[in-house]
Amino acid sequence: MKLYIVPTPIGNLEDITLRAIRILKEVDLILAEDTRKSGILLKHLNIDKKMFAHHQHNEHKTVEMISERIKNGENIALITDAGTPGISDPGFLLIRECIAKGIEVECLPGATAFVPALVNSGLPCDEFVFVGFLPQKKGRQTKIKSLINEQRTIVFYESPHRLVKALEQFIEFFGAERRGAVSRELTKMFEENKRGTLLELVDYFKTKTIKGEIVIVMEGNKNKKKVEEESEESEEGNE
């Protein structure tokens, strides 16, 4: 028996695979972050299946029970409100518990917000760092400071009401001319992808009413890379 990790659309309901639909129809139980929201999707897909709430407020208490149910013969699918479970959403604890108990875990490919935002940003995506949501208060500045010398493209998730504040903090620590991109409402009717320097992005979004989930993509520290390349060339010349 198996735990299936099933990505669901982040906006456009067409963005679900045929395999995901089949799995959701075949399993014995679907774990959902919000059964009401997931119920809308399942109804759209003509799937009538029993659901059980599995979210950040109860997952520590339910992983043991769920893993035992799988071990005793049930196939169970885990979904979240949108995207791939485990990516800034519940999933990690259950997956870890199942692996520890020798239960097979199968993760389907599918929708997640940061991949289209990263690719669409126009910034290098051969190497990148996914940060997810920054701490709201304690540890926020410490986390940002730890990324000052990061050379790879950096990807953040952010809420609409904290977007401008986040961009202003990035200017403080990374500089106003650092380039970035902000994607919101991905795959939906009013999808928007805005690119520019951090200062240009702040000026733009200060004048807007911001709605929808946000992905911020920011270029890495090019100056550090340049200094290290010059240092390497100098060392080679001394050999």
Q: Is 0.85 topped by the overall pTM?
A: yes
> Which of residues 89, 107, 125 is at a domain's end?
107
- The count of domains in the chain is 2
Is 123 found in the same domain as 102? no
pLDDT digits (tens, 9 = 90+) for 115-134: 999 999 999 999 999 999 99
The CATH number for 209's domain is 3.30.950.10
Q: What residue has token string 């339910």?
A: 62
- Give residue 150's domain range: 114-223
Q: Which has the closest alpha carbon to 91: 73, 114, 108? A: 108
Structure confidence by residue, pLDDT tens digits, 164-177: 999 999 999 999 99
My answer on whether 129 and 50 are in the same domain is no
Same domain (yes/no): 85, 152: no
Same-domain check for residues 73 and 120:
no
**Is there a contact between 141 and 168 (Cβ–Cβ < 8 Å)?**
no
Three-class secondary structure of residue 108 per DSSP: coil
Residue where a domain stops, chosen among 83, 107, 131: 107
pLDDT confidence bin for 137, thresholds 50/70/90: confident
